[in-house]
Amino acid sequence: MFITFEGPDGSGKSTQIRKLSEYFAQQGYCVVVTNEPGDTQVGAQIRDLLLNPVYQGITPETEALLYAADRAQHVRQVIRPALEAGHVVICDRYIDSTIAYQYFGRQLPGDFIECITRQAIDGIMPDVTVVLELSTEAAERRFRRRAEENQADYSVPDRLEQERMEFKDRVNEGFKYMAIHYPQRIMTVDASGSIEEVWQQILSGLRERNII
C-alpha cells in the first residue's frame, strides 16, 4: 500500500502522517514513513541544493530535474523495496508536488514534466493521495505563527517558502486541478480545521475507499 500526502507548506501534513502511521502500526502493519525531497543519502544533498536560500540562481528546469533526480533515487532505494517487502509506505510529497510547483507554479512545459516524472517513478504510482487543502493566506498565517513559536523547522523560510504569493496561489490551483481530474486516486481534505477534525476527515475518506 502506497499513500502520499500533498498540500501547501503549512497544511499540517507531518502531523497527519504521524497519526496515520500510528494507526497502521496499531493494526499490526509495518509502516515506512518517508518524504521528498531528501530521504536518501544523495537526496539529502539534493534537498540542500533545492531549498537552501543561498542558491538563488537555480533555473526552473534545473529545479525540476533535481526533484526528479531525488525521486529516481528515492523510488529505487526506499519506496519500491518497502512495497515489495509488503510494508505500508506513507510519503510526504510525491508526483503531485512536481505538477503543482514545477508545472503550475513555474509554468514549465507539460511534456518535459511528464517525461522526467515518468522516468523517475518507474511505474510506482500511489494507491491513494491525500491532498490537504488550505488557502495561501491561511498557510502563511500558520507559517508565521510557528516561526514566532520558534519551531526550528520554521525559523528561516526555505527557497520555495520565500516565493511570492502569486506563485503559491498557482501551486494551490495545481493541487485543486489534480484533485478534480484524478478523483479516483486523490482525496481532498479541508485542512483549515483542528488536527482532530482533519484526522477524522482522512479516516472517513480512507474508509470510503476501502484503504483502511
Residues binding ligand TMP (CB under 6 A) = 9, 35-37, 67, 93, 97-98, 101-102, 160
Smallest distance, Å, CB 98 to ligand TMP? 4
Q: Which is nearer to ligand TMP, 82 or 174 (by Cβ)? A: 174
- What is the number of the residue whose Cβ is closest to ligand TMP? 101
Minimum distance of ligand TMP from residue 27's CB (angstroms): 27
For residues 51 and 56, give the distance between their C-alpha atoms in angstroms, rounded to a whole number: 9
| DSSP reduced 3-state for 200 | helix
Closest separation between CB of residue 38 and ligand TMP, Å?
A: 7
36 or 133: whose CB is closer to ligand TMP?
36
Q: Which of 203, 180, 142 has its CA nearest to residue 12?
A: 142
Q: List all residues 6 or more positions away from 116 whose beta carbon is below 8 Å from its beta carbon.
A: 64, 65, 68
Q: How far apart are CA 198 and CA 138, in angstroms?
A: 15
CA Rg value for the chain: 16
Question: For ligand TMP, which is the closer residue by CB, 16 or 98?
Answer: 98
- Tell me, what amino acid is at 91? C
User: CB-wise, 29 or 124, nearer to ligand TMP?
Assistant: 124
Q: Residue 24 or 94: which CB sits closer to ligand TMP?
A: 94
Check if the beta carbon of residue 148 is closer than 8 Å to that of residue 192.
no
Rounded CA separation 142/139 (Å)? 5
If phi over 0 gives left and psi between -120 and 50 gives alpha, with beta otherwise, what is residue 86?
Answer: left
